[in-house]
Structure 1
Amino acid sequence: MNHRIDDLVRDTLTDRAGAAPPADRVVDRVLAGAPARRRRAGWLVMGSVAASAAAAVVAVVGVGVVLDSGSPRSPGESVDAHASEREEGVANDRAVAIYAAVLERFLRESYEDDGGVPESVLVGFRPEESAGWEYDDPEVGAPLPPAVRDALVAELADVTDLVWVERLPSPGGPADEELAGITLGLLPDGDREVRVSVSALHGFNNGWLTTYVVEKVGDRWSVTGVGSPNGIT
């Protein structure tokens, strides 16, 4: 009788998991733990106990199969991926904090005597060396990540509407008369202090360039001074 139950358990495990530990050990432990009076109850009781044991083993094996399915990935790869995501998030938060401080100060100071900050300004996707005021092929950076651009729009919502563009209009063009074209300077490395330039062209022969000293005070980046280069046309 025990051999028949063992065969049933082994067959079930083979069908479900493809490979399983010997079933006779499982059945023997179950039968050994049952009271003597249950052994006299006949086929019905022993069949029920054996079936429960088989179901429990199959359930455990089934869970193991589910958990082991999918593409293999070493623990090191998972840690590296999370570390990379955290580093990207920290870099994005830093760029948003610094550029938001620089843009707000630049816009308010540049337009304080000219009717106030325009309702909308165009901002180039790519930061440039010295905010585009280099005459010999300035270094052009990578486009700001979408997350940074979206966050800057939200940060400056009370000041103006930032409209991101791949290419700013040519000076003196029709659109240039209505909207300022803002160019951000490249963001240098620095944990406590950086210098970032920002420039605007608004209408024919009407432009500003300012370089700001931005320092981290506590957890907040703030403009603390003006550096060079600076210019106005």
Structure 2
Amino acid sequence: MLSSFLTFLLFCIALSADTFTAGLSYGSSGVRIPAPSKLILALVSGLMFTLSVFFSVFLSVHFPEKAVLLLSFLIFFCLSLYKGYDALSFRSHGRCGQKKALAGALTTDSLSRRINYAKPSVLSVKEAFLLSLVLSLDSLTAGAGYQLNLPPLPVILLLSSAIHLLSLILGLSLSRRLLRKHSCILSLLPALFFLFLALSRLLKFLYS
């Protein structure tokens, strides 16, 4: 029971990597995020993840185990590739300014800057809501692939929302410190975690 909860906790932390990167991006640009915007971003992200986990229960009940395992492998493997690309893109941006070699329109850093257009010095509640929807896309897919024991849905909502909020605050804090140059390493950890989950699903698919 404890191991399942710890795995789920790590899963939530890995999914909050985009929120952490958004915090780094806004903090390094001097964008202020008021408390209401922080809460909206965290709560919407947590709600979307909770809905996706609920969908995973539906999949496990109505589809064969092999099919669900294969889908989980594909989801986590694709997520590991994207998280790695996203982390390396942010590192390239930090080194090369606007002429970044790896970053594109679909990275968290780029999307965060595009959404914050109305008043660049402050992230409004509306912009925070839009950003949370964008950042929740990987949560929707990853939650659908999660097949381990789950806590009650209210716990999932509160825990995932709290982790997203802490990740945003941590990203904003680190962006103003010398530790920011090591943020790429932190951003790569979720990619490795999702790769581990993908391989575990593949092995279970092959030997079940």
TM-score between both structures, scaled by the size of structure 1: 0.22
TM-score between both structures, scaled by the size of structure 2: 0.24
Structure richer in strand, relative to its length? 1
Of structures 1 and 2, the one scoring higher in RCO (CA 8 A, sep 6+) is 2
Structure richer in helix, relative to its length? 2
